[in-house]
Amino acid sequence: MVKFGLQFKATLENVTNVRPLGDDFRWFLKVGWLSSSRLYLNIESVPLKGGRGSASMVQKCKLCARENSIDILGDTITPYNAEDSERFKTMVQFECRGLEPIDFEPQAGFAAQGAESGTPFLEINLQEKDWTDYDEKVSESVGIYEVTHQFKKC
């Protein structure tokens, strides 16, 4: 079992507390041995064969029939804040058995709040790696720009 941290990096403009929204948030990952496949992971657990616990995704190898899995460690989910802007920060960790995450595709389902006003911004879509809006409480533009990521062994 190996743990990988998804490190998030972006430039934040007048927002903070960027995070996945809700318990049904899906992490769009691509893994090493399934390089042409996308995995859609959420917090739901799938039982592992032989009663060895559960994981967020279980995949059986077509060649050797080995059961491989990735589990989202829900208690490691951490928001990306204004003071983290332009620096890598681990947003979530995955426990991996036989699989290695190699790519992350941010999608819709993120949330943030105005840095000064606390205005909630829900259902932020980061698919284009940039997002902008306007915070009417403080009459300022807000945005998340240049979204990138990396995976790091924990």
What single-letter DSSP state applies at residue 80?
B
Q: Look up residue 56 and give its amino acid.
A: S
Tell me the pTM.
Answer: 0.85
Burial class (CB within 10 angstroms; exposed 0-12, middle 13-18, buried 19+) of 76: middle
**Can you give the pLDDT at residue 71?**
87
| Inter-CA distances, 74 with 91, 100, 137, 144, 150, Å | 10, 18, 33, 24, 19
**Can you give the pLDDT at residue 49?**
62
Model confidence at 70, pLDDT cuts 50, 70, 90, reads confident
Q: Structural domain boundaries of the chain?
A: 2-153
For residue range 89-134, what is the model confidence (pLDDT) as tens digits? Answer: 999 999 988 888 889 999 999 999 999 999 999 999 999 999 999 9
Going by their DSSP bridges, the two strands 89-97 and 2-13 should be labelled as antiparallel
| Inter-CA distances, 139 with 14, 114, 151, Å | 11, 11, 36
**Can you give the pLDDT at residue 108?**
95
**Can you give the pLDDT at residue 23?**
80
